[in-house]
Structure 1
Amino acid sequence: MNLVEKKILVGVSGSIAAYKSAVLVRLLVKSGAEVRVLMTHAATEFITPLTLATLSKNPVLSTYASDDGIGQWNNHVELGLWADAFIIAPATAHTLARCANGLCDDLLTAVYLSARCPVFFAPAMDLDMYRHGSTLHNIQRLRSYGNILIEAEYGELASGLVGEGRLAEPEILLEALQRHFNHRPVVAGKRVLITAGPTQEAMDPVRYISNHSSGKMGYAIARTFAQAGADVTLVSGPVGLDAPDAAVRLVKVRSARQMLEASQEYFAASDLVVFAAAVADYAPSEVAEQKIKKHEGTFELNLTKTPDIALMLGRQKRAHQLLVGFALETENEQENARRKLESKNLDFIVLNSLNDPGAGFAYDTNKITVIDREGLIRHFELKKKEEVAQDILDIITEKWSEA
């Protein structure tokens, strides 16, 4: 994941929304980041330093010197140089004003003025405070200094009013940091089409033919490319997953025919197409209008082939496009993958095997081999699917950089 070993400072100021900082810290640590927390005095009245110290696995700092009688100095300059990113969440109107005007009356603001890393502000306050001219002026000034604002959200506020001013949810804050570290200039603005998940081919109003695909791999690829700056469209079969990223255009379909039609709509304008969906190979020749009743003995079902989406779109491929396919095999793996790469006019084929423990459907991990048109073979170890998506991003970035 792209926050592994990143050094993140989390600043917490005095707002009822400070409780969300605990979730943010947990998510950052879970993503592999090293986290240190700074709190204003007012923030400690809303959430205890012990909570954030336990979650971050580091002492929480709020004063220039420790209060243990030893007189240890919390060096604001060292903290500012240590961090790869500094996110202040929640950022109250008071904290925004102090930072915008260079007021340096506590450790958090001193570290802000010393920081050489990107600084993110996530405001939280009541709607009239958020709309006030002085707050808007302070936000504009902070942006002019190169800081990054994570907009407050619309919703019910602590006052009981409804409007803008809610601190963005911790998952959104995490995505903002991931997008920053994952951003790649060569990927920015590229149009990427990804298919994911299974398809369901109806037998009757109740039953269907499908497979065990969870969609996790395709969704991880969509998230990774979106955070790198690409314009991502994800055509997804039925899965039990949340949208991968707020920036991803999610098109939900059910059948192979619907997936083909949705993919055709975006294909011509795409720079990269990743066929990560597990499309059902066959569908019932006829769909019963009523539920098929159970009979004694055997039951026969006539099947017909579904559209081969990668094959059909591969025939329409343009010179500037890159096409990536997936091959899940159980035997003659590389031979079958190469045949698929050639027959469907792909640039890369991502091979995984059901013979590898931890790879394939439903797992959070995958083990892949990537083969390109020139015959280059890249082998990768078993990894989390988010890390596999990063490997695929690296390969495509390298290809685009060469071009």
Structure 2
Amino acid sequence: MKTKSTGSKIKVLLLITGSIAAVRIPLLVSQLAKENYEIRCVLSKNAEKLIKPLSLSILSRNPCVVENDQWSNSQSTPLHIELSNWADILIIAPLTATSLAKWVTGNAEGLIPSVLIANIKPIIVAPAMNTQMWLNKAVQRNYENLQNYKNVLSLHPSEGLLACDAIGIGKIPPNDLIQLALEFLTSNKQNPYRKDLLNKEILITGGCTSEKIDAARQITNKSSGAMGLLLSQVARFRGAQVKYIHGPLKIDKNLTEGIKRYEIETSVDLIKVIKNEISNCDYFFMNAAVSDFKISNTNSAKIPKNQINDHLKKNFELVPDILKKISELKKNNQVFVGFCAFTGSIEEARISIKEKILKKGCDYLFANPIDLEDQGFGFLAQNEGWLFDKKNMEYHISKTSKIDLANKLISQIIS
């Protein structure tokens, strides 16, 4: 997902405990190694029964550490301290109920609990267990206590088919989502990780809308929904309650885990859901790429090709400016952010962008160019852009990954 760097590698310590979900971790190790992270793996005793240390050593290009190494004669420093000091970022995946209980109660019995208690670096937590275990009051209490740890980025378990053949909550979060959280923390390297959006509600729109012409045709655009989704995940990683309204996503649905989503199709659908949700949010990001045109009289049958030109001429109309309409509902304590794609130079676009802020009634407008190489649409595309406010602020974010851009954009807005 991220662009490989030729600079110094980010050091990731991966702690693996004894859930059956551990069998998915070798693929994660391989995935991260290919993205140029330096990985060291630590296996608990129970995890050793599920994964071979040799496999992890080969995939990570580093010796795998096991429980019996904790007090090895070859160690000149206590191993749990050496590992904690070595890492830039930690991941515990899967996190079992036992490891969670030891961690939050300060029980350092075993290598992994010792590392967890000694660690002060950012750590990604990916729980996995049976549904009844996850919903147990003691486990929920321990997990709730863990949310008070300032360095912990928690990814809640997913719902689906579990190893016990039951369907429920308890699956380990997808590897791609764990990697996305890692990329988020990596983009934060200049600043310590903080949950600075706790108790904030953020409403975000993204992706394209589409308007029906007839049974076979529609009007739409190229938006993939990636930028809106990354804004949503970054806000969630920083502690916010997030709702994401979007058109059909052209990206991996695994990356939507943990976000409350509303999928819409038309501009009418979009404005209806926004109106239902807008009153409770602290921040509103209008990132959806709304189709500029619609057909007032859609046809349930397919229109013959020789008649479609006439049909379009008679029924063609512009879609109203949704952000302008929603801004009429804006409260004094809310912050509204609009988005504007442009082509050509920023010098040429600057005047029209400033006019749009006033016209649309938003507090900020982020303008990004879409006619430059490797920029614009799609998850892997990089972006740059300029954030404007109603006065004279103009903040430039240089070309970077979309998740880094999302992170910097949110930081600037909440600052």
Mapped partners of 1:287, 1:388: distance in 2: 39
Deviation at 1:236, TM superposition (A): 0.8
1:325 aligns with 2:338: yes
Equivalent residue for 1:17, pick from 5, 14, 21: 21
Equivalent residue for 2:212, pick from 161, 183, 202: 202
Residues 228-243 of structure 1 aligned to structure 2 (within 5 Å): 228-241=238-251, 242=253
1:387 aligns with 2:397: no
Mapped partners of 1:202, 1:22: distance in 2: 45
The gaps in structure 2 that reach 5 residues or longer are none
Q: Which residue of 2 aligns with 1:311?
A: 324
Deviation at 1:117, TM superposition (A): 5.0
1:289 aligns with 2:300: yes
Deviation at 1:237, TM superposition (A): 1.6
1:279 aligns with 2:290: yes
SS at match of 1:381: strand
Mapped partners of 1:186, 1:16: distance in 2: 34
SS at match of 1:356: coil
Does the CA-based 8 Å contact 1:64-1:75 persist in structure 2?
no
Farther off after superposition, 191-200 or 173-182: 173-182
Deviation at 1:132, TM superposition (A): 12
Mapped partners of 1:298, 1:338: distance in 2: 37
TM-score (norm 1): 0.80
Q: Which residue of 2 aligns with 1:49?
A: 53
SS at match of 1:20: helix
SS at match of 1:367: strand
Aligned length: 390
Q: Structure 2 vs 1, CA of residues 31 and 388 (structure 1 numbering), >3 Å: closer, same or farther?
A: farther
SS at match of 2:204: strand
Deviation at 1:166, TM superposition (A): 4.9
Mapped partners of 2:22, 2:288: distance in 1: 40
Mapped partners of 1:90, 1:351: distance in 2: 40
SS at match of 1:36: strand
Q: Which residue of 2 aligns with 1:268?
A: 279
Deviation at 1:74, TM superposition (A): 6.5
TM-score (norm 2): 0.78
Q: Structure 2 vs 1, CA of residues 383 and 118 (structure 1 numbering), >3 Å: closer, same or farther?
A: closer
Farther off after superposition, 21-30 or 286-295: 21-30
SS at match of 2:280: coil
Farther off after superposition, 292-301 or 207-216: 292-301
Q: Structure 2 vs 1, CA of residues 37 and 243 (structure 1 numbering), >3 Å: closer, same or farther?
A: closer
Measured on the aligned residues, the alpha-carbon RMSD in Å equals: 3.9
Q: Which residue of 2 aligns with 1:353?
A: 369
Mapped partners of 1:162, 1:319: distance in 2: 44
The gaps in structure 1 that reach 5 residues or longer are 399-403
1:64 aligns with 2:77: no
Mapped partners of 2:398, 2:87: distance in 1: 30
What whole-Å deviation, never above 9, does each CA across 1:85-124 have from its counterpart, x for those lacking one?
A: 654434567766776684635x434434544457777565
Q: Which residue of 2 aligns with 1:401?
A: none
Equivalent residue for 1:339, pick from 355, 370, 377: 355
Mapped partners of 1:26, 1:271: distance in 2: 40
What whole-Å deviation, never above 9, does each CA across 1:147-194 have from its counterpart, x for those lacking one?
A: 778776665555656667654544565677789998745422222221
Q: Which residue of 1 aligns with 2:40?
A: 36
Does the CA-based 8 Å contact 1:216-1:364 persist in structure 2?
no
Deviation at 1:17, TM superposition (A): 3.0
AA aligned opposite 1:104: E
AA aligned opposite 2:402: K
Identity %: 27
What whole-Å deviation, never above 9, does each CA across 1:293-314 have from its counterpart, x for those lacking one?
A: 1228965612111121011112
Deviation at 1:379, TM superposition (A): 1.8
Mapped partners of 1:287, 1:311: distance in 2: 26
